[in-house]
């Protein structure tokens, strides 16, 4: 009988969290705990910082029910971090420290759940580990609500934000439509996506064509032209009685200046108080005098597990599971991807791509997803988006509120002396 080499696994969450990043954690952990190649499963407290500071959580000390519950719990249960490791040339110390901690805890598998930056980090860890004579299998687990990772049909986290934005736009539009005759005529919803318009595009699912809300979408990919926009708002109000606008936080003028920077100041003249939502709403009021309302969904959109897309939850779990399966097969420095096999009925499978191919790259909304007038989505975009928001995956409720799990988060005993300052 062949002896199986058993090593421990480390999992960490990175960057902005989502409604389903914990579903990926669940996929990684359940699969790792079952694997005969993997001994202990550890997680970094507050992401990679937990690894640097040797602050590890012993995942095996959580109950099976808690681990299962991660699948329906939003946010980053282990803590995430906005902490980008510098290039190896600039800060070799951090990478060496990671390897030191991994060596101390016999960690042979590194699962890093994040976006573009994180894939870069995972790649570097795998390279440096080999160079330092401590081979470690590094697999990225894709996560970003921005949907801007290349080589994957979509990114876990996006489908649920998309569903939230589409549902919210449809609901708020019904509200505005009911009251437009005597009250609010223009409603502006600000959504996330600083560099790519994927989330804004999802607002387009709320209606069917330019006569249904949202009447106008402002994408980061389309340079904002004030007069053209204001004319279209007036047109919508004249034709439909009201106008619903979905605006991406990344909407910008042709010179690259964000709309959000363009105006808001507090009474003391400090800038950057408001977001783009109020800026756009105010622009409409000044030009046309319409009564307006605006909403800024902010974190509500990316934490809204209560209205998560079932497809998204399933894909988030699947990439976590696949990451472990790839790793124990010895496939190193890759990221599982979602492969679309058919639009309708929607069929997908899991593929994988070298980390080097995804690290630090960004996927924008393709031009043929944006309507010719620049204010809406095309049929191709709708065909792409629709399957990603399909299905509901309701969390359990207790006393009227979602019953989200909380970890015991038992720390692993430290083996190294001294503290590492991050």
Site residues (CB under 8 A) for its own copies, limited to 197-226: 205-206
Q: Which stretch binds its own copies (CB under 8 A): 58-66, 93-101, 218-226, 388-396?
A: 388-396
CB 190 within 8 Å of CB 168: no
Task: Figure out which of the listed residues 389, 393, 407, 412 binds its own copies, where binding follows CB under 8 A.
Answer: 389
What angle, rounded to 10 degrees, do the helices at 158-179 and 310-328 form?
170
Catalytic residue among 55, 58, 117, 146: 146
23 binds its own copies (CB under 8 A): no
CA atoms within a 13 Å half-sphere pointing along the CA-CB vector of 183: 7
| Residue from the set 44, 76, 197, 376 that interacts with its own copies by CB under 8 A | 76
Q: Which residues contact 173 (CB under 8 A, 6 or more apart)?
A: 187, 206, 207, 213, 214, 244
Torsional sign, CA 380, 382, 385, 390? negative
**Does residue 185 bind its own copies (CB under 8 A)?**
no
Which CB, 173 or 353, lies closer to its own copies? Answer: 173
How wide is the angle at C-alpha 323 spanned by C-alphas 89 and 50, nearest 5°? Answer: 50
Smaller CB separation from its own copies, 112 or 187: 187
Compute the distance between CA of residue 278 and CA of residue 264 in angstroms, rounded to an integer.
8
Q: Which is nearer to its own copies, 101 or 136 (CB)?
A: 101
Structure tokens at 304: 């809204």
Residue of 2, 36, 181, 413 interacting with its own copies (CB under 8 A): 181
Alpha carbons 22 and 264: distance in angstroms, whole number: 36
Among 392, 408, 410, 415, binds its own copies (CB under 8 A): 392
Figure out which of the listed residues 267, 345, 413, 419 binds its own copies, where binding follows CB under 8 A: 267
Of 5 and 401, the one with the shorter C-beta distance to its own copies is 401
* Residue 183 binds its own copies, judged by CB under 8 A: yes
Q: From CA 225, how far away is CA 37, in angstroms rounded?
A: 57
Q: Does 400 bind its own copies (CB under 8 A)?
A: yes
Going by C-alpha positions, the residue among 396, 351, 1, 391 that lies closest to residue 159 is 391
The answer to whether 177 contacts its own copies (rule: CB under 8 A) is yes
Query: Which residue, 207 or 374, has its beta carbon nearer to its own copies?
Result: 207
Here's the x/- map for its own copies, 245-264, by CB under 8 A: it reads as: -----------------xxx
Q: Does 145 bind its own copies (CB under 8 A)?
A: no
Nearer to its own copies, 47 or 210 (CB): 47
Known catalytic membership, residue 146: yes
Instruction: Please say whether the beta carbons of 9 and 138 come within 8 A.
Output: no
**Are 7 and 38 a contacting pair, CB within 8 Å?**
yes
Least distance from C-beta 356 to its own copies, angstroms? Answer: 26
Annotated active-site positions, please? 146
């Amino acid at each position: 009988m062949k002896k199986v080499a058993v090593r421990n696994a480390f999992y960490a969450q990175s960057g902005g969290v989502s409604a389903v990043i914990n579903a990926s954690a669940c996929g990684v952990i359940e699969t790792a705990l079952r694997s005969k190649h993997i001994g202990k499963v550890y997680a970094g407290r507050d992401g990679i910082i937990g690894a640097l500071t040797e602050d590890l959580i012993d995942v095996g000390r959580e109950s099976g029910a808690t681990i299962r519950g991660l699948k329906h719990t939003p946010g980053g249960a282990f803590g995430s971090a906005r902490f980008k490791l510098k290039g190896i040339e600039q800060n070799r110390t951090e990478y060496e420290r990671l390897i030191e901690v991994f060596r101390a805890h016999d960690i042979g598998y590194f699962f890093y759940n994040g976006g573009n930056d994180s894939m870069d980090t995972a790649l570097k860890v795998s390279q440096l580990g080999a160079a330092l004579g401590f081979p470690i299998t590094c697999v990225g687990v894709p996560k970003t609500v921005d949907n801007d990772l290349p080589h994957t049909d979509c990114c876990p986290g996006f489908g649920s934000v998309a569903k939230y934005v589409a549902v919210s736009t449809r609901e708020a539009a019904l509200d505005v439509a009911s009251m437009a005759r005597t009250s609010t005529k223009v409603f502006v919803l600000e959504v996330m996506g600083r560099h790519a318009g994927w989330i804004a595009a999802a607002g387009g699912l709320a209606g069917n064509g330019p006569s249904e809300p949202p009447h106008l979408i402002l994408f980061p990919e389309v340079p904002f032209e004030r007069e053209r926009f204001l004319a279209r708002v007036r047109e919508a109000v004249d034709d439909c009685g009201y106008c619903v606008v979905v605006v991406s936080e990344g909407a910008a003028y042709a010179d690259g200046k964000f709309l959000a920077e363009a105006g808001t100041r507090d009474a003391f003249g400090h800038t950057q108080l408001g977001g783009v939502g109020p800026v756009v709403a105010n622009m409409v009021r000044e030009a046309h005098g319409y009564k307006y309302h605006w909403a800024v969904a902010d974190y509500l959109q990316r934490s809204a597990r209560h209205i998560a897309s079932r497809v998204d939850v399933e894909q988030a779990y699947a990439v976590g599971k696949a990451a472990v399966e790839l790793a124990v097969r010895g496939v190193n420095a890759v990221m599982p991807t979602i492969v679309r096999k058919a639009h309708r009925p929607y069929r997908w499978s899991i593929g994988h791509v070298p980390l080097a191919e995804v690290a630090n790259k960004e996927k924008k909304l393709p031009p043929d997803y944006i309507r010719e007038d620049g204010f809406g989505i095309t049929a191709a975009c709708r065909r792409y988006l629709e399957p990603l928001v399909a299905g509901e995956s309701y969390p359990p409720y207790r006393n009227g509120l979602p019953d989200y799990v909380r970890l015991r988060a038992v720390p692993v005993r430290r083996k190294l002396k001294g503290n590492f300052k991050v």
